[in-house]
Structure 1
Amino acid sequence: MTTLPLRTTPATLTPGDLGHDLRTTPPAAAAARVRAELADAGAVLLRGFGVDGTDDFAAVVAALGGERLEYTERSTPRKSLGGRVYTSTEYAKDKEIFFHNENSYQASWPRWLFFHCSVPAAGGGATPLADIREVTRLLDADVRAEFAERGWLHVRTYQPGFGLPWPEVFGTEDRAEVDRYCAAAGITTTWRPDGVLQTRARRAAFHRHPDTGESLWFNHIAFFHPSTLPPAALAVLTDMLGHDSLPNDTCYGDGKRIPDSVCAHIRDCYRRASSRFDYERGDVLFVDNMLAAHGREPYDGDRSVAVAMTGLVRGTA
């Protein structure tokens, strides 16, 4: 098992480093250089390659990552740009999106993520990265042991007007089809008399990296925990919906509450392991989804970042 320290910023590669236009399949040496940097740094910033628009971006993704994946069982709003390329999460620009590994609340997830910046923000708007190896190391030993033993539970309540509606998340209005999908994905469904759907999914908190075999902290525990919300927003939600019907919640795998103090410690570990850079127009950020968590800073002005995913991985705790 190989354990390499993740650098604190993404490795940056330019056309001069690779001698190749990444919009076509790179020669073996160039591809190997990109993958070696990715394995070391967890993320690679491809700068100066003239990537302009969705078609160019899709070509780079195909050249480096293969077939693009659909966004399934999504939890945040985004638009399709065609060809399995999507807008990044559409969320108020004055708010932070906390660190997370894409789809780590699901039974399977993308191995690689690609971000393309066509319009950099006037200020802020970075996609900060957190070194998951370092997060795993920084977690208190007793916190690691508790989650390793108990796992975690994602409770999602599809309240009308709060978050994405379940037909959009599951791509169907057929309740029986939703039940079949969820059963196959290890999700329990409860249809309330008022028509509200609540789902529960017990997941492992640690998963093994497919190349190195490292056991890594890989989950949405802090991201979906109520204490990560701004206090004012949480107060409004609990007043309107109740503590047991929030759009997203996380518990230990046995259903017991995770103390706010534990999630505060987890959030602190992400921040201590984080770094940032400022986008330039045309940048492509290539991320190993299991080695680096990502977020989004608040920003000023306009900002346009597209996202694509490749390389489906199924959980191996």
Structure 2
Amino acid sequence: MTVTEFTGPPGTPIHAYLTENRDKLRTVLAEQGAILLRGFEVGGVDGFDRVVRVLSGSAPLTYAERSSPRSTIKGQVYTSTDYPQGEEIFLHNENSYQAVWPRTLYFLCIEPAHTLGATPLADIRDVYRHIDPGVREEFERRGWRVVRNFHAEFGVQWQEAFGTDDRDAVEEYCRGKGIEPHWRPDGGLRTTAVRRAVHTHPETGSRVWFNHATFFHVSSLAQEVQEGLREIFAEEDLPTNTYYGDGGRIPDEVMDHLRAAYRAASTRFDWQRDDVLVVDNMLAAHGREPFTGPRKIAVAMAEPWDG
């Protein structure tokens, strides 16, 4: 995919530029799936929050139904996923396992890595085209299922994921979002949800491969992580795993094929300090390379959608 870069003379205030060029930027974003704003004066995290408000016309969203560790920087601006720096984070579309997801994502480079550390992107229209039609048809017919197990004292806790320690509130939330909750004997929680694998982009009408079936599948983890989890948990108790929507197992060769489709469609760029990356979440998947050095990327989400 193409990440279109817009560059301002050093010190140019980004908010004035966005206000003046908003329509053009939104048009390119809807066509290309991502734009990179480079060389502007952003104004730190507060200025980044304002970028979201100017370009999206609304406040950043709260990170709900969490699946990965993040820290709040300020307000609804968060760190990118707090995984060990030596691990890859596979390509995915933010919150595509939920009933409602953000249409637009924002990334601010506060501190670039010393080596690697890119946020690779993949056009999910191309991912869709790279997938064998028979594989696509099976997912379109059967859907995909995500099973999450929130274990006491392991990984993200259900209280953090749902932002409450009230079980009744969690159950009410799940009822409204098409999620089946089951309380575990150890005090943890298992949730199951069935979602669509293919969606239609609301502006372009393109068919897009928009789901977490690959990202959440245990085989997408590093081999040593897979082996460690399987030593601790039975398959039905893994922290996350995916299946066909009817509960059938997804064959290993299908998962290999899906990962290859994402990689075939991916591109990358090296971060520079104060870069702002804007992503149409229903056109582009994103991930994270391993890295060395400090690397700090702020993230914000906007424009909820349930199509």
The interval holding the TM-score normalised by the smaller chain is over 0.9
Match of 1:138 in 2: 130
Distance 1:26 1:53 in 2: 16
Change (3 A) 1:311 1:25: farther
1:69 aligns with 2:64: no
Amino acid at match of 1:15: G
CA separation in 1, counterparts of 2:295 and 2:17? 29
The one-letter code sitting in structure 2 at the alignment partner of 1:31 is R
Match status 1:165 vs 2:153: no
TM-score, reference length from structure 1: 0.93
Corresponding position of 1:252: 244
Alignment of 1:120-269 (within 5 A): 120-269=112-261
The answer as to whether partners of 1:151 and 1:204 remain within 8 angstroms in 2 is yes
Question: What is aligned with 1:34?
Answer: 25
Segment of structure 1 superposing worse, 46-55 or 84-93: 46-55
CA distance in 2, matches of 1:24, 1:81: 24
CA contact (8 A) 2:14 2:41 kept: no
Q: Which runs of 4+ in 1 moved over 6 A?
A: none
Are the aligned partners of 1:31 and 1:64 in contact in 2 as well (CA < 8 Å)?
yes
Pick aligned residue for 1:309 from 292, 295, 301:
301
Offset at residue 175 of structure 1 (A): 0.9
Task: Report deviation, 1:161.
Answer: 3.2
Amino acid at match of 1:92: P
Q: Distance in 1 between matches of 2:227 and 2:270?
A: 34
CA distance in 2, matches of 1:191, 1:308: 31
Further displaced range: 80-89 or 134-143: 80-89
- Is 1:24–1:63's contact at 8 Å kept on the other side of the alignment? no
- Identical columns (%): 51
* Among candidates 7, 10, 16, match of residue 14 of structure 1: 7
How much has 1:236 moved relative to structure 2? 1.6
Cα deviation, 1:27-76, whole Å, max 9, x if unaligned, reads: 45x11221122122210000011224101111111111122100000101
One-letter amino acid of the structure 1 residue matched with residue 106 of structure 2? F
Q: Say if 2:265 is the partner of 1:281.
A: no
Q: Give the Cα–Cα distance (whole angstroms) in 1 for the partners of residues 241 and 43 of structure 2.
A: 39
SS at match of 1:147: helix
CA distance in 2, matches of 1:274, 1:193: 42
Whether the 8 Å contact between 1:10 and 1:43 is mirrored in structure 2 is yes
Do the aligned residues in 1 keep the contact of 2:33 with 2:284 (CA within 8 Å)? yes
Asked whether the equivalents of residues 114 and 287 of structure 1 are also in contact (C-alpha less than 8 Å), the reply is yes
> How many residues in Structure 1 have an aligned counterpart in Structure 2?
305
Which TM-score applies when normalising by structure 2? 0.96
Amino acid at match of 1:220: H
The residue matched to 1:267 in structure 2 has which SS? helix
Distance across 2 between alignment mates of 1:83 and 1:254: 39
Q: What SS class does the counterpart of residue 244 from structure 1 fall into? A: helix
Match of 2:108 in 1: 116
C-alpha contact 2:30 2:204 (8 A) present in aligned 1: no
Q: Deviations over 1:207-237 (max 9, x none)?
A: 1211122221100000000111122211221
The superposition leaves residues 117-159 of structure 1 with CA deviations (integer Å, 9 ceiling, x where unpaired) of 0101000000000011100011000000000000000000011
Deviations 1:250-292 (A, max 9, x none): 0000001111111110000000000000011110000000100
1:27 to 1:82, Cα distance in 2 relative to 1, 3 A: closer
Listed as ranges, the gaps of 5+ residues in structure 1 are 1-7
Determine helix, strand or coil for the equivalent of 1:44: strand
Residue 201 to residue 272, structure 1, CA distance change in 2 (3 Å):
same
Query: What is the letter of the counterpart of residue 225 of structure 1?
Result: H
CA distance in structure 1 between the partners assigned to 2:281 and 2:154 by the alignment: 27
CA distance in 1, matches of 2:153, 2:6: 43
Equivalent AA in structure 2 for residue 127 of structure 1: T
Question: Can you give the 5+ residue segments of structure 2 that lack an aligned partner in the other structure?
Answer: none
Amino acid at match of 1:122: H
Asked if 2 retains the 8 angstrom alpha-carbon contact of 1:75 and 1:163, the reply is no
